[in-house]
Chain A
Amino acid sequence: MTPGRTIPFLAGVAVALGAGWLAFPRVIYRSRPEPVNFSHKIHADKAGAKCEDCHAFRDDGTFAGLPTLDKCAGCHAAPMGTTAAEKSFIDNYVTPNREPQWAAYARQPENVSFSHAAHVKRAKMACQTCHGNTGASDTLRPYQIDRISGYSRDIWKTPGTPHGMKMADCVACHRGQGLEHSCLDCHK
């Protein structure tokens, strides 16, 4: 191949690689700020809170997911510190009794049925298995959502590159445990 032909070819490869690795991730995801820069670490260290204190199971066994304002206001009816995040939370949500619209990193798409009860209560799995070190994090990661699929970019909360959760991850874990895995287990 002569230089006259090689250079345009390599230039095309370089541009595509640049666009695919650098520009594409910026375009495909859009960011959404969380209502407050919540610190799991402070709540765990100073308040001694455990995961299930806020992310509780209801009486009927279903998982309540993210806590509502009532839960937060139980402790934060008045400011419990002098941080900007605390003041912002009190002023914008607790005082006007406005429900914070938290973005849920780990929420599965509607075509997947996931039961926390089955994994946490029956299989005795630790929260960290899927949610990584969230409980020890001092700040919330940027919430990035895929513009096409609507899926969060980061689920595992492992240090380093954001990593989503795919069906292969679920299947791998189930296979590793020697469990049944048919389509209808999750895609009901």
Chain B
Amino acid sequence: MNTTRRQVLMFAGGSAVGVLFTPAPWRLITDTALWSENWPGIPAPARGEIRTRFTNCPLCTAGCAVRARCVGDQPVELAGVGGHPFSRGALCPFGIVGHHLPYLPGRVKEGPVKEAAAAAADGIAKCRSSEFVATLDLRPGRTASWTYRRAMKAIKNGRYVAPSVDTQVAVDLSKARTVLSFGVPVLDGWGTPGNVNSARAGFRLIQIDPVESRTASMADRWLRVRPGSEDALAEALAGQIPHAAAADASGLTVSEIAALSKELEQNGPVLVLGSSQLESTAGTVVARRETPVPDEWKKAAPATALASLPDRSVRVLLIDESMPGGYLPWNAIARKLVADNPVVVTFACSREGYARHANYALPVGVYPEVAGDIPASIDSVAAAFRIAAPLVSPPHGTVNPEAFIAAAAGLSIGDTLRERADAIHKSGRGTLFTYADRKSQAVKIVTADDFWKALNAGGCWIDEPAAKASAARLTFAAPAQQQVEESELPLAIVVTRELAPGLPLLSKVYQESNLRLAPGRVALNPACGLEDGSPAVFETLLGKCSVGVTLDSGIPPGVVQVSGTPALLDLCGDGARAKVVRA
């Protein structure tokens, strides 16, 4: 029997009609609709018991108390802990989204751990008498910092390098009636948000700032000065130079400076932030006691400033950037490295920082995956000890920088956090505040095990006030020197002080809202001749890179505001001037 084309078409037509009377096409429509709403790319919420757990946020030195709502073992919402004696229930926007950190797309997830350990050991063995093995700790004052100091003590020519942070000086905002800030972001990530907010009504904030920063916009008074003239203004207020000289440098009028001087005189006590040229009134800056440590730790190596190391002297450099902290421009570090094959190992969660320059970038656990303590913040008069207790497990393959550096130095360590907690407990000082019941009790009446357990379940040790508060002095780094003629690099650089350079939390919000400068962006006055959002080239004495331009009328002509991302901070370095040209 021959099958004709017509018969095939009739069969197909019959099939098409017949299939309409079956559930198949309708089922497929329903199924594909359901599939499109549930395909694997759509994140599904966790299922499980809803629990509340407590920890502390280590994203900055404030270390705010955190209440985590967890579904099963997964934190889904972070909030502050009401009734906390210092953070007072507040949590900043970064802290609120801190549980997103483990899932960042650009996270370093694997690294050559064995190769890095072998290279570090080889470098240490080959270190000559004039060379150093250094650990750069960007977040000094932690228990891990003590381990680094001990490890560097155990190594011949070991040096512990840290940014110049004095962990034993604090400011007492409650004692100040006026806060005179030279560019310090007092209301934007400087101290503990809850403490600053609660003290805010008690002091008048005068912000000296070249640009209309967020703190400047919220200050009681904002005085716009020329970039780099802050010290001249401070010297005039201290009576060291005539007001007229400061007026010439800063762009303020003599009468404005005189009025400011009179106001500081009449409305004391005055807390001065951001300038070492002007003294704060006694009592607003106090010495803070050290959080107790085991006696055997006290023989550790002291902190060394990077600048004090000779150039071309560091053979092995181990950088802990696992916790958000300060940032030293790479050019300042690079010139300290030996010329022939230095070994640089960095412990990082992101490749945006020193991982761009290191020989080895090793993955680390991030908040809230790993335990670590948080030193007391600048505005905490009493010493404190709180642990960022982990809420989730770190991924396989991450490295503990503390264990890595101790092993490289041949230092045997145990549970250092527990040892520190035991030393605090042994001192018998202070109180333990537990978050779940919001109660304080004297450390003396708590057993060592209960103290440790409470710290890991969300708890905070707060030192008792010293019997007699001793005066102290805040020190600030000198402003960068201008090294070139204005005609070559016509723009003065003002760096936005970021909470954590390179930390990409909320960066999408920046890019879409422009509330903060997004990574890789610079802000210029609208009269600069460039278009908003246009690509441009940012150039300093140290190099150049591509940036995006944001036009902001809060930026005066002749100034460029730079987002505090590592790639741009590296270019700023010691140079205070730049130019931005159309790409």
**A residues engaging B (CB < 8 A)?**
4-5, 8-17, 19-21, 24-25, 28, 58, 60, 62, 64-65, 109-111, 146, 148-151, 166
Q: What separation, in Å, do the CA atoms of A88 and B28 have in the docked complex?
A: 38
Q: A109-B38, A148-B28 are in contact. Are A20 and B18 (CB under 8 A)?
A: yes
Q: Does any Cβ of A come within 8 Å of B16's Cβ? A: yes
- Whether A16 pairs with B22 at a CB distance below 8 angstroms is yes
Q: A5-B10, A8-B8, A24-B27 are in contact. Are A110 and B34 (CB under 8 A)?
A: no
Q: What separation, in Å, do the CA atoms of A108 and B406 have in the docked complex?
A: 51
Q: What separation, in Å, do the CA atoms of A3 and B37 have in the docked complex?
A: 47
Partner of A60, one of B16, B19, B32, B50: B50
Chain B residues lying within 8 Å of A15, measured Cβ to Cβ, are 11, 14-15, 18
Chain B residues lying within 8 Å of A20, measured Cβ to Cβ, are 18-19, 21-24
Q: What separation, in Å, do the CA atoms of A50 and B442 have in the docked complex?
A: 49
- Whether B15 pairs with A16 at a CB distance below 8 angstroms is yes
**For this complex, into which size category does the number of interface residues on chain B fall?**
20 to 34
A92 to chain B, nearest CB (A): 24
**B residues engaging A (CB < 8 A)?**
6-8, 10-19, 21-24, 27-28, 30-32, 34-35, 37-38, 42, 44-45, 47, 49-51
14 pairs, A vs B, C-beta closer than 8 Å: A9-B13, A14-B18, A20-B21, A24-B24, A58-B50, A64-B49, A65-B47, A109-B37, A148-B28, A149-B31, A149-B34, A150-B35, A150-B38, A151-B34
For the complex of A and B, 3 pairs with smallest distance between CB atoms: A20-B22, A12-B14, A16-B18
A16 to chain B, nearest CB (A): 3
Closest to A25 in B: B23
Chain B residues lying within 8 Å of A65, measured Cβ to Cβ, are 47
Interface of B, secondary structure class, is helix
Partner of A12, one of B13, B31, B37: B13
A80 to chain B, nearest CB (A): 27
Chain B residues lying within 8 Å of A24, measured Cβ to Cβ, are 22-24, 27
Q: What separation, in Å, do the CA atoms of A14 and B22 have in the docked complex?
A: 11
- Whether B18 pairs with A148 at a CB distance below 8 angstroms is no
Closest to B12 in A: A12
Chain B residues lying within 8 Å of A11, measured Cβ to Cβ, are 11, 14
Q: What separation, in Å, do the CA atoms of A56 and B171 have in the docked complex?
A: 53
- Whether A8 pairs with B11 at a CB distance below 8 angstroms is yes
- Whether A10 pairs with B49 at a CB distance below 8 angstroms is no
Q: What separation, in Å, do the CA atoms of A92 and B37 have in the docked complex?
A: 36
Partner of B11, one of A9, A111, A146, A150: A9
